[in-house]
Structures are given as structure tokens and as C-alpha cells.
């Protein structure tokens, strides 16, 4: 954080100095966690989801063992506690035999090592490459990899994995459970919420904008997005698409109307200051109508909006060639 926000002594900051944000809509809130700090619930039939209110994972119980989808370290040992709770209630095995990685990020699979060496880990070929590069013992590289499609069959259940191009990361995959009417796509849409900082810190902005369209091509009723507290619906993805369309439209207006020249006149040979002034102003102009429209509709619509708009604005400039200046 900047000194402007915190002051010279961060310890002297009071809660009255913290920024105020729009209330989170009731429809965006999470179910209450239990005394261990987790909530586990049924998605469809023998597919369950578990959350700590910030992260989500899912698991499928079968006669041959449990298939776990991601292993966020913030949930950690509560993953096995949640599995045990369901296994006892339904008299089914509680041993995780397969662990499917959505992508390589540590915040979603950093508890993988808790499940030992005998678990079959499955992920995209790029996930394996990135994990071997990271050399993180908490995230063993997948044993089974694929490039475009893979069908996992365990205990009579079918799970379809697909890579449809880069989005949040180069390796982020679509996990479809057709018999359970569920799609898992992590870090692309956060149901009920606006995007996290810098548009979810997406490595591929155009791919991430396109990903919800591809997600809606699958037949499903339930959506697991990996963060915060609830499952999603097709309506949530449609709302997210409109949210992004509104950002893109307002960025185009800002790129067409914000004049960079006053910033260069102000800062002279300090080029970065001029560029910052221009981009900050364009981002703020584009963000304002989005906040006005979505505050009270999406949680935190006013929290990370400027950095999200900036990420999309820069992608539109650099990836799509919009808003650049051609010297006469």
C-alpha cells in the first residue's frame, strides 16, 4: 500500500481512515462455516463442494475412492475432514485416489502433498511443465497429463477434462461432470462477485474474456469458480459477461476521449508520470459507470474495479491495438 493511504506510520492508521465500500449483496454471501472453519455441501448426487468462505474445492465419492478437484492450502486438512464427514454419513470410502488439478497456481493446489504419493494426480501438460519449474514439494507434478481432452473414469463415474486455450493461466482447464450437471472453471468467474485485483490477475486477458462463452457451451446447471462462498448458475456467467462488456465499452469511450497531451505538458520529460496520469485518468473514467451500475448487484464492484479496468484497457491497447496513437 502507498504512504498516501497508510500515512508515515501504518500502525497509526485508524479504521475511520479506511476506505468505505458498497455493501455486499446478500445474494453474494457464503454459507456459514462450522467449528473447524469449513462448509461442505452437496452439489448434485455424489458430488460435493467445500469452502472456507474464500476458496472452494470439490470432491466426488465413488465405490473405488474419492476424486478431489483442487486442494487449496487455505482449506488444507479440512479437505479430508469434509470428505470424512460425507463418507461417514453415506457409508462410502474416504480415501482420495485421484486429484485433478485445475491449473498450477499454489493457492488452489498447494495442499496437494497432504494426500501422499499414492494419489494419481491429473493435469494439463503445461501444468506439469510449470510445476516442474516451480519445484514446489507442496505441489507434486501430475502423473497423468493431456494436451486437449482427457476422460477420467473412476468407480463408474465419468469426468471430462478439456483445455480450450489459455485464459486465467496458460494451463487452466474446464472440468465437466455431465452426470452431475456441473462445470468447474477456476479463477475466471467468481459467482456473485466482481473481479479480483487486476482482472483476477489473468495472464491472458482476451482469453479470460472469451472463457465464459466457452463455459456456456457445456451443458451444466452448477458452476464452481474456485473462490468465495457460493456455487454459480448460468445466470451468473451471463451477468459476468455483461459486466465485462460494460467495462470494454467504457474503456473504448475513455480511449477515444481522454486527451494525453495535458499530462505531457504537465510533467515534461518525466514520461512515466505523464503516461501514469493518462492511464489513471482513462481507467478511472471507464470505471465510474461500471461501479454505478454494479454496486449492490455484484459484491465488491467498487473494490478492485480500477485495477481491473486498467488490466483490460492495457490488453485492448497492446493485444488488440485499440487506442494507440499513430504519428502523422
* Domain edges within the chain: 28-232, 245-318
**How would DSSP label each residue in 102-155?**
S-S-HHHHTTGGGG-SSSEEEEEHHHHHHHHHHT-TTSPPPSEEESSEEEEEET
- What's the pLDDT at 14? 62
Q: Which residues of the chain have pLDDT under 50?
A: 1-10
DSSP letter assigned to residue 40: E
* pLDDT tens profile 188-200: 999 999 999 999 9
| Cα–Cα nearest to 289, from 247, 257, 241 | 247
Indicate the pTM of the whole model. 0.93
Task: Give, in degrees to the nearest 5, the angle at Cα 108 between 104 and 114.
Answer: 95
Alpha-carbon span 258 to 189, nearest angstrom: 30
How many CB atoms sit inside 10 A of residue 42's CB?
11
> What is the second-level CATH architecture of the domain 28-232?
4-Layer Sandwich (3.60)
Cα Rg, the chain, nearest whole Å = 22
- What's the pLDDT at 7? 41
Element (H, E) at 299: none
Q: Strand 96-100 and strand 157-162: pairing?
A: unpaired
Alpha-carbon span 120 to 117, nearest angstrom: 8
Alpha-carbon span 122 to 141, nearest angstrom: 9
- For 258, counting Cβ atoms within 10 Å of its Cβ (0-12 exposed, 13-18 middle, 19+ buried), the class is buried
- What's the pLDDT at 11? 54
**Cell (9 digits) for 225:** 469458480
How many CB atoms sit inside 10 A of residue 150's CB?
18
- What's the pLDDT at 15? 62
* pLDDT tens profile 92-143: 999 999 999 999 999 999 999 999 999 999 999 999 999 999 999 999 999 9
Ranges assigned E (strand) in the chain: 39-44, 47-51, 56-62, 65-69, 96-100, 120-124, 144-146, 149-154, 157-162, 174-177, 182-184, 222-224
Percentage of the chain lying above the pLDDT 90 cut: 92
Let me know: does 20 contact 300? Beta carbons within 8 Å. no
**Cell (9 digits) for 74:** 487455505
The set of residues, in sequence order, having a beta carbon less than 8 Å from that of 28 and lying 6+ positions away, is 192, 193, 228, 229, 230, 298, 299
Amino acid at each position: 500500500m502507498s504512504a498516501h493511504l497508510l500515512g508515515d506510520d501504518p500502525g497509526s492508521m485508524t479504521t475511520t481512515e479506511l476506505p468505505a465500500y458498497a455493501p455486499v449483496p446478500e445474494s453474494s454471501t457464503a454459507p456459514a462455516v462450522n467449528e473447524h472453519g469449513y462448509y461442505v455441501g452437496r452439489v448434485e448426487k455424489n458430488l460435493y463442494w467445500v469452502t472456507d468462505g474464500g476458496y472452494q474445492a470439490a470432491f466426488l465419492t465413488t465405490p473405488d475412492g474419492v476424486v478431489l478437484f483442487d486442494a487449496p492450502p487455505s482449506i488444507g486438512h479440512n479437505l479430508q475432514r469434509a470428505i470424512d464427514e460425507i463418507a461417514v454419513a453415506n457409508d462410502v470410502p474416504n480415501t482420495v485416489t485421484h486429484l485433478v488439478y485445475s491449473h498450477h497456481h499454489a493457492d488452489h493446489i498447494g495442499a496437494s502433498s497432504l494426500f501422499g504419493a499414492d494419489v494419481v494426480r491429473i493435469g494439463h501438460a503445461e501444468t506439469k511443465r510449470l510445476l516442474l519449474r516451480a519445484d514446489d514439494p507442496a505441489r507434486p507434478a501430475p502423473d497423468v497429463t493431456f494436451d486437449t481432452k482427457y476422460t477420467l473414469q473412476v468407480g463408474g463415474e465419468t469426468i471430462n477434462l478439456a483445455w480450450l486455450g489459455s485464459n486465467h493461466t496458460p494451463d487452466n482447464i474446464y472440468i465437466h461432470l455431465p452426470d452431475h450437471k456441473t462445470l468447474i472453471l477456476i479463477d475466471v468467474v467468481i459467482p456473485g462477485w466482481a473481479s479480483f485485483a487486476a482482472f483476477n490477475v489473468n495472464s491472458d486477458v482476451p482469453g479470460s474474456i472469451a472463457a465464459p462463452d466457452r463455459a456456456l457451451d457445456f451443458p451444466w446447471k452448477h458452476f464452481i469458480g474456485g473462490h468465495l462462498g457460493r456455487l454459480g448458475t448460468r445466470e451468473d456467467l451471463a451477468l459476468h459477461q455483461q459486466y465485462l462488456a460494460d467495462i470494454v465499452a467504457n474503456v473504448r469511450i475513455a480511449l477515444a476521449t481522454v486527451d494525453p497531451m495535458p499530462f505531457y505538458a504537465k510533467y515534461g520529460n518525466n514520461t512515466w508520470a505523464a503516461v501514469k496520469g493518462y492511464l489513471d485518468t482513462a481507467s478511472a473514467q471507464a470505471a465510474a459507470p461500471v461501479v454505478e451500475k454494479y454496486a449492490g448487484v455484484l459484491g465488491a464492484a467498487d473494490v478492485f474495479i480500477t485495477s481491473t479496468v486498467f488490466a483490460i484497457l492495457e490488453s485492448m491497447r497492446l493485444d488488440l491495438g485499440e487506442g494507440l496513437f499513430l504519428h502523422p
